[in-house]
Amino acid sequence: MKQKVFLGAVVGLMAALSGTAAGRLETLPQTKPLEWEETDLSSRLMDGAHRFIERKIQESVAKRSQLWSRDFSSPAAYAKSVQPNRAHFETIIGAVDPRLPVRMERFGDDVHPALIAETSRYQVYQVRWPVLDGVFGHGLLVQPRRPPVASVVVLPDADQTPEQLMGLATGGKAESQAARLLAENGFELVIPTLVSRAKLQTDDKQLRSSDQTHREWIYRQAFHMGRHVIGYEVQTVMAAVDWFRQQRGQQSKVGVCGYGEGGLIAFYAAAVDPEIDVVLVSGYFDSRQKVWAEPIYRNVWGLLREFGDVEVASLVLPRPLIVEHSPAPTVLDQKGEWHTPDFASVRAEVERIESGPTFPRPVLVAAEDGKPIGPFSDRAMAAFALRLGTGELAALSGELPVDKRVSFDPALRQQRLVQEMENHVQTLVRQSDKVRDKSFLYSVMPELSDRQWSTARRHPTHSPEKFIEGAKAFRRQFWEEGMGRFDERLLPFNPRTRKVAESGKWIAYDVVLDVYPELFAWGVLVLPKDLKPGERRPVVVCQHGRNGVPRDTLDANNTAYNNFAGALAERGFITFAPHNLYRGEDRYRWLSRKANTVKATLFSFIIAQHDQLLRWLATLPNVDGERIAFYGLSYGGETAVRVPAILEKYCLSICSGDFNQWTRKVAATDEPFSFMRSIEWEMPYWNLGQTFDYAEMSYLMVPRPFMVERGHLDRVGVDSWVSYEYAKTRWLYAQLGLADRTEIEFFQGGHSINGEGTFEFLQKHLNWPSKTTPNP
């Protein structure tokens, strides 16, 4: 390769390089000139990453068919053929916990009686029903005075109450009171409360500044634990359907209908639960190709890789599906927006549904001119009732139910609902370390779980080979299911360079490499001036943190980085400072949000870029490809436990200013420094809390050296958390006879590079002499 002569030619040019303008424009041999402005590189990189992921989203529609194998020969054959897709859909919406035995609890007192309203045709009760341990459905039960013609779960929008759909409270049009219409026509109903879009009401200034709604509050913590506000609400509907079946038997008809957010939940519940006979989706159905632009609580891991609304609808088939093109609730400022979609988009999506030669096609209801209708228009409700086998619906009467409760406050019910979901997630958070131990550590080496005390002074260690082999499957899982992996080939390097800085001991170059058609990698390569022809030296990749750029690592001790890329170069190391994509505040958060839709994250890009950088560095003649280490601060420290855990070409990793009990840091609601209380809404990673915390990520480094650098005054966490998590790392290395390959250094300082014990760690494990020893 041409790159093989690269640094040999550099050495010959060193004497000619100077601080002149001509010298500053010098490019490295065997590379093209880099002509982009340095101040433009970061934004160029971000723009390219957005174009890349938007292409992947666009391509997802055509690729979904590869994940489906529908058999339309019979309803039974069809159900069997889509069952793997149904199971996966159930998993990614977080509807995974076993439900409790069903019962319906009517409750009340003298002020708020259980029977809250009645007419000549029906009675209305306030009820709750168990769903999961500590989680209940809350809402209304409507029972006709005669045997019911069918049973229906009616779902309001998130900003509506069950009482509004029954005409018991103001808000909304009378003609949209679907629950009241069905009640008057002899249907038995359960009307659940959904988690609202209202902003969190709190006196906590820090939490208030995070600008979260109730739905986002549950979404953030649940997502990291493999659960979802959507999954909790789908389970709530399924529990009500279970109760209907228990009461009425398998021969009775059960339907679900919903509007807005309730339309989403009705749709998803019918996709997951074959016990639902008919579903009406009002004000929700559309192409989901821009789901990333919708409110953040709609974010479902990898949704578009396998499911648009067409594919979700195929999980409902051959059961009847009615789609009503109604005005969607206008939702703004929820880290995403939602508006009524164009009819052409809705119609095109419905027409894409593959129903086979014999299955009934879904019904699309809209105004004659394609304009929105409803919600819960006469036409939509008539189609719904027809497919439930109940005949025509009589029009609403003038008999209004009256709420008997005195000063009923639905906000208190909402508070109970949110608190129950939060309690459920927080229990998962507290128990997660045991789950991770069982699923990873002790599944790889069951003998490690035997920690019996002994009077012997020493215990034999275990051979690391078994653990290293067993960890390979978990490394793949971490990459593909945790961080996300792009199915695209890396491009040739096409290196472009230019000189950007120089000191008495080193010279630095911007380097740009192609990665994917729209995506490149950029960083600063720092070469010691005393390089000798044929000499192969170790490389330390020095990673900046959030909102940083590569030159920050050569900062002349003006920032928290303390010039660590330059200081290491002065010790004789070659250093490379890559640019990672966590810059630009919400631009990188939106990038991560887009990536989530196709089962990717911010680190999917970063891993690909580092993979390309490592390949390129290994081609350089003065680089020892077996001695390339990683050292990162803050978000760079976060990178240090993710990228080297996956890319084994990194022979060593140092995590500075980030090592933590990550599950608690991201998802716990009771700590002031948790990301639950901050603006960092991209921090939850799907189900990471149940699979990989920092200890488990560090296990993937075994047998390579791993170190943690921690300032006592660093407010990203507390020493006790860091020590607890690192103790698990240290314990495993010790059991495998590798205790000398891991260290932690505490220092009296804050969120910064300390560069003392870590430099010694690098010199020891990269077999490089100290700065006081002459270079070999």
One DSSP character per residue, 314-345 reads HHHTTS-EEEE--PPPPB-SSSS-B-PPPHHH
Q: Mean per-residue pLDDT for 496-505?
A: 95
Q: What is the pLDDT at residue 24?
A: 40
Percent of all residues in the chain with a pLDDT value above 70, rounded to a whole number: 95
Summarize pLDDT for 387-418 with one digit per residue, the tens.
999 989 999 999 999 999 988 999 999 999 99
Q: For 108-122, 379-393, 753-767, which range has the lowest pLDDT when averaged over its residues? A: 108-122
Q: What is the dihedral angle through the alpha carbons of 489, 491, 497, 502, rounded to the nearest 10 degrees?
A: 20
pLDDT at 774 over 50: no
Q: What is the pLDDT at residue 741?
A: 98
Strand partners, 281: 258, 323
CA dist., res. 131 & res. 399, Å (int): 34
pLDDT at 775 over 60: no
Summarize pLDDT for 685-705 with one digit per residue, the tens.
999 999 999 999 999 999 999
Distances, alpha carbon 677 to alpha carbons 483, 577, 656, 683, in Å: 23, 31, 23, 11
Mean pLDDT, rounded, of the chain: 93
Q: What is the pLDDT at residue 463?
A: 92
Higher pLDDT, 649 or 2: 649
Q: What is the pLDDT at residue 152?
A: 98
Q: For 4-13, 357-366, 391-400, 666-675, which range has the lowest pLDDT when averaged over its residues? A: 4-13
Local confidence band at 681 (pLDDT 50, 70, 90 cut-offs): very high
pLDDT at 35 over 70: yes
Contacts of 112 (CB under 8 A, 6+ apart): 126, 405, 406, 408
Q: What is the pLDDT at residue 64?
A: 97
Q: Mean per-residue pLDDT for 419-430?
A: 98
CA dist., res. 69 & res. 89, Å (int): 15
Summarize pLDDT for 470-491 with one digit per residue, the tens.
999 999 999 999 999 999 999 9
Summarize pLDDT for 587-612 with one digit per residue, the tens.
999 999 999 999 999 999 999 999 99
Instruction: Look at the block and give the residue holding tokens 């077996």.
Output: 626
Local confidence band at 545 (pLDDT 50, 70, 90 cut-offs): very high
pLDDT at 7 over 80: no
Summarize pLDDT for 124-140 with one digit per residue, the tens.
999 999 999 999 999 99
Please name the amino acid found at residue 298.
R
Q: Mean per-residue pLDDT for 640-653?
A: 98
Q: What is the pLDDT at residue 773?
A: 44
CA dist., res. 428 & res. 408, Å (int): 33
CA dist., res. 757 & res. 510, Å (int): 29
Distance of CA 69 to the CA centre of its chain: 27
Return the structure tokens found at 23.
């010298």
Local confidence band at 111 (pLDDT 50, 70, 90 cut-offs): confident
The answer to whether 57 and 49 have CB atoms below 8 angstroms apart is: no
Return the structure tokens found at 605.
């890009």
Q: For 35-44, 53-62, 709-718, which range has the lowest pLDDT when averaged over its residues? A: 35-44
Strand partners, 279: 256, 321
pLDDT at 2 over 50: no
The enclosing H or E element of 130 equals strand 122-132
Q: What is the pLDDT at residue 451?
A: 59
Instruction: Look at the block and give the residue holding tokens 């390219």.
Output: 48
pTM to 2 decimal places: 0.94
Q: What is the pLDDT at residue 218?
A: 98
Q: What is the pLDDT at residue 776?
A: 40
The answer to whether 548 and 639 have CB atoms below 8 angstroms apart is: no
Q: Mean per-residue pLDDT for 412-437?
A: 97
Summarize pLDDT for 163-186 with one digit per residue, the tens.
999 999 988 787 889 999 999 999
Q: Mean per-residue pLDDT for 246-258?
A: 94
pLDDT at 449 over 90: no
Return the structure tokens found at 96.
């995974």
Q: What is the pLDDT at residue 209?
A: 85
Higher pLDDT, 229 or 557: 229
10-17 long-range contacts, CB within 8 A, separation 24+: 10/527, 10/531, 10/622, 11/531, 11/532, 11/533, 11/622, 14/507, 14/529, 14/531, 17/499, 17/502, 17/507
Q: What is the dihedral angle through the alpha carbons of 15, 16, 22, 25, rounded to the nearest 10 degrees?
A: -60
